[in-house]
């Protein structure tokens, strides 16, 4: 989102953000503060729970009043709750004959639900119903589009895959001290992201190579204490350090190889950021990650499988040319996953929607 803000502002567009205030911490506050001067339409944070709750009514009302006062041309909802708000409020504005385009990007969220459960049926049917109130769906990778088609159905409205991108200034190799830890986990400390798999795989990798290794875990989350206890039980407390959340590029300088052991993902930015910084990346075969590293990449491990992840980590640490042999070529990567490409494609979609006859006729 910050990258899109910066790219669109550089092209002269007015941008604002309305988002949840009940999640995140000091690190997220700093990120918001860094782009606040570029948000000419403001930054509004209100409590929005992930699950459907009575408090949603207050969130909808506050959001509607704020958005109506801005009279935007585009409402782009990110995530299930943001998408619902954007489509509902945009449709309310359209009833009043106000011209506004309504877009939705799932980003996982409701797509993690199982169609074979009651809750999954309810959520996925709601997703299908909400298509009536959207002008376009934007997916961050082919995997997300395929998952949507499988669980919800083939989109009835315009849909487009627009890959996440990294700012040109971030395509700069970050040097790492030769004595730095071997592996880095960076992300939320909760089971979906796989910190427990990382800890288990690290212990297995040590046994495979036959000598002690070192690692660093960077992030915050609800399960931090449990992971610290897990490391203490296995005698890894001194070999795996832990630090609070920090900017990704700062963390990249602290260790050699980035490990992304997620059980589920859509298109994680951390993989893109690490590759742009010239880091070696090991990741689970989930979401759009194979579209970045290559479907047949030797850097991919089975999700939730510590033994398979340890196999890849062992190969990376024992093969001198592993990074050069396995990582994507920098030029080809940048041609697809840069923020300028992402912003250009997004603006093209916005402009097409605003000039289309059905939307223009709402004026």
pLDDT single digits (tens) 267-320 = 899 999 999 999 999 999 999 999 999 999 999 999 999 999 999 999 999 999
Token pair for 128: 């299908």
Coil, helix or strand at residue 258: strand
- What domains are defined for the chain? 2-165+338-360 (3.40.50.2000), 169-336 (3.40.50.2000)
> Tell me: the pLDDT tens digits for 201-215?
999 999 999 999 999
Q: Is the pLDDT of residue 363 over 50?
A: no
Contact 150, 176 (CB under 8 A): no
Length of the chain: 363
Q: What are phi and psi of 167, to 5 degrees?
A: -60, 145
Distance of alpha carbon 170 from alpha carbon 263, whole angstroms? 27
> Tell me: the pLDDT tens digits for 51-107?
676 777 888 888 999 999 999 999 999 988 899 999 999 999 988 778 899 999 998
If pLDDT is split at 50, 70 and 90, which confidence band does 29 have? confident
pTM over 0.85: no
* pLDDT of amino acid 3: 86
> Tell me: the pLDDT tens digits for 321-332?
999 999 999 999
* pLDDT of amino acid 301: 98
Q: Give 203-211 contacts, CB < 8 A, sequence gap 24+.
A: 203/234, 203/236, 204/306, 204/307, 204/310, 205/310, 205/313, 205/314, 205/317, 206/239, 208/310, 208/311, 208/314, 209/314, 209/317, 209/318
Q: Average pLDDT of 24-49?
A: 86
* pLDDT of amino acid 13: 95
Q: Average pLDDT of 10-24?
A: 89
Which residues have CB under 8 Å from 21's CB, separation 6+? 45, 46, 47, 48
* pLDDT of amino acid 357: 55
> Tell me: the pLDDT tens digits for 251-266?
999 999 999 999 988 8
Q: Is the pLDDT of residue 27 over 90?
A: no
Which region holds residue 71: left if phi is over 0, alpha if psi is between -120 and 50, else beta? left
If pLDDT is split at 50, 70 and 90, which confidence band does 359 have? low
């Amino acid at each position: 989102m910050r990258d899109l803000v910066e790219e669109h502002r550089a092209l002269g567009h007015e941008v604002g953000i309305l988002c949840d205030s009940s999640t995140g911490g000091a690190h997220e506050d700093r990120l918001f503060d860094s782009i606040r001067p570029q948000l000419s339409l403001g930054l509004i944070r209100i409590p929005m729970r992930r699950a459907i709750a009575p408090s949603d009514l207050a969130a909808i009302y506050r959001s509607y009043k704020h958005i109506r006062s801005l009279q935007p041309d585009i409402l782009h909802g990110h995530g299930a709750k943001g998408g619902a708000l954007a489509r509902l409020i945009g449709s309310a504005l359209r009833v009043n004959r106000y011209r506004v385009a309504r877009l939705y990007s799932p980003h996982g969220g409701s797509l993690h639900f199982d169609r074979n459960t009651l809750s999954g049926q309810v959520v996925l049917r709601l997703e299908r119903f909400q298509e009536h109130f959207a002008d376009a769906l934007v997916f961050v990778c082919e995997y997300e589009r395929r998952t949507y088609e499988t669980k919800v159905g083939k989109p009835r409205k315009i849909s487009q895959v627009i890959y996440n991108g990294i700012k040109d200034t971030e395509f700069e190799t970050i040097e790492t001290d030769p004595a730095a830890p071997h592996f880095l986990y960076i992300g939320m400390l909760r089971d979906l992201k796989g910190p427990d798999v990382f800890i288990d795989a690290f212990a297995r990798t040590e046994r495979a190579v036959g000598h002690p290794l070192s690692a660093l875990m960077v992030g915050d989350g609800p399960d931090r204490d449990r992971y610290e206890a897990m490391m203490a039980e296995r005698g890894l407390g001194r070999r795996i350090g832990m630090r609070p959340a920090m900017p990704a590029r700062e963390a990249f300088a602290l260790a050699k190889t980035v490990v992304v052991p997620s059980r589920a993902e859509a298109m994680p930015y951390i993989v893109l950021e690490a590759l742009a910084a010239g880091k070696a990346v090991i990741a689970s075969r989930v979401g759009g990650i194979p579209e970045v590293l290559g479907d047949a990449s030797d850097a991919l491990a089975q999700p939730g499988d510590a033994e398979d992840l340890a196999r890849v980590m062992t190969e990376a640490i024992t093969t001198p040319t592993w990074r050069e042999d396995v990582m994507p070529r920098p030029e080809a990567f940048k041609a697809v996953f840069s923020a300028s490409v992402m912003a250009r494609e997004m603006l093209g979609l916005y402009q097409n929607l605003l000039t289309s006859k059905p939307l223009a006729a709402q004026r």
